[in-house]
Amino acid sequence: VIGHPKYQESKRIAIFLSMPDEIQTEEIIKDIFKHSKECFIPRYKPHSNHMDMLKLSSAEDISSLTLTSWNILQPSDDDRVREEALAGGGLDLIFMPGLGFDKKGNRLGRGKGYYDTYLERCIKHPSGKPYTIALAFREQICESVPVAENDVQVDEILYEDC
């Protein structure tokens, strides 16, 4: 990931905070700050498919986040000081989680459509759609995954030995 050309050239990067069953992103987040890039993380709105990408001030800032009922760390709902990526310069790159992927770029998420809805908002932003890279375990690569009309394909899937 760290050596990937798209990562190297990106300045504004959105990345998920890993759950135990996902590719661990902590070292990538540390590298984002080490290279003075801007780091954004998801804040999911419960009972909807709305998600924002809010700016972290440092890797240590993660310890100030609240744990949701889904066991995900994210900025609290009343946090109004963090920049939302689309309120500013948009994003260059989004690292995406998922449960399953196929080699055509289809992604099976957790079923709420947060990332698909967010990418639709990105497409309408003046900076346009960011490059998307899914981070996966080899075991998550399938022959095909079910897709819906509003699902947005990822540009690239990184997994061991890909």
Is 98 known as a binding-site position?
A: no
- Annotated binding residue 115: yes
Q: Is 108 annotated as a binding residue?
A: yes
Residue pair 31/2 in contact by the 8 Å Cβ criterion: yes
Q: Do the annotations mark residue 138 as ligand-binding?
A: no
Residue 151 token pair: 């699902």
The answer on whether 110 is annotated among ligand-binding residues is yes
Residue whose token pair is 């760290």: 2
DSSP assignment of 54-103: EEES-GGGGGGSEE-TTS-EE--TT--SSPBGGGTT--SEEEE--SEEET
Q: Tokens 């698909």 sit at which residue?
A: 116
Confirm whether residue 112 is marked as ligand binding.
yes
Q: According to the annotation, is 114 in a ligand binding site?
A: yes
- Stretch (H or E) spanning 134: strand 131-135
Q: Is 22 a known ligand-binding residue?
A: yes
Binding residue numbers for ATP:
107-115
Binding residue numbers for substrate:
17, 22
Binding residue numbers:
17, 22, 107-115
